[in-house]
Amino acid sequence: MRLPVDSIYGVTLVGGGIFSQCDLDMALTLAPMLVAADGGANKLMDCGHIPQHVIGDLDSLDAAHLARLGDRLVHIAEQDSTDFDKSLRALHAPFILALGFDGARLDHTLAAMSSLVRHGRARVVLLAAKDICFLAPPRLALTLPVGARVSLFPMAPVSGRSTGLHWPIDGIQFAPAAQIGTSNHAESDRILLEFDHPGMLVLLERAHLAVTLDALQASPDWR
């Protein structure tokens, strides 16, 4: 089924939270199609960027901007999901780089992390102040510097296997209220992660964004 927004390029998806012009410029070099989730369009347009599409229930969009956007609007009226959820449902792209979904409020950050798991799409990367965060695919091969932090946070019961980590994860039953895997690190420059079910979030330093996007596009997805 063709979705309302279908791109052959990576998408920079902007929410209404905190992001810098530097972050936006960097994201657009990697993902040149610019899309806003509802109120994210206000910040973009205030700094001179007109998104190619705006997705959401549109209740946070300034009236002046609303009038200018016309057929760029993708209105999803229901109120039972966040605008990030709505955007992920409406978007098809090789990968999505999401900024402005963390930092302003902790509940918004947690909601965005939950959305990554709920939609089961590993090729959606949240860009945070110091880290990147994404849903681990079934199999992920990463090239990282020795010593690079590799944090694993389960959002559901999940198990898997690893090579190249200082603390291997083989045989561990992860769960959000039990065993987690933060502050692991690379013991080799080649990391392999495998998981039996969706539910594990991977958090890496932002310096590894480009390498991560390449690795995710080469990996199978859960969907």
pLDDT tens sequence across 33-74: 999 999 999 999 998 999 999 999 988 888 888 888 888 989
Q: Is the pLDDT of residue 2 over 60?
A: no
Residue with tokens 């390029």: 9
Question: What pTM value is reported for the model?
Answer: 0.94
The domains located in the chain, with CATH, are: 5-129 (3.40.50.10240), 139-217 (2.60.120.320)
pLDDT in tens, 22-42: 999 999 999 999 999 999 999
Report the pLDDT averaged over residues 197-219: 97
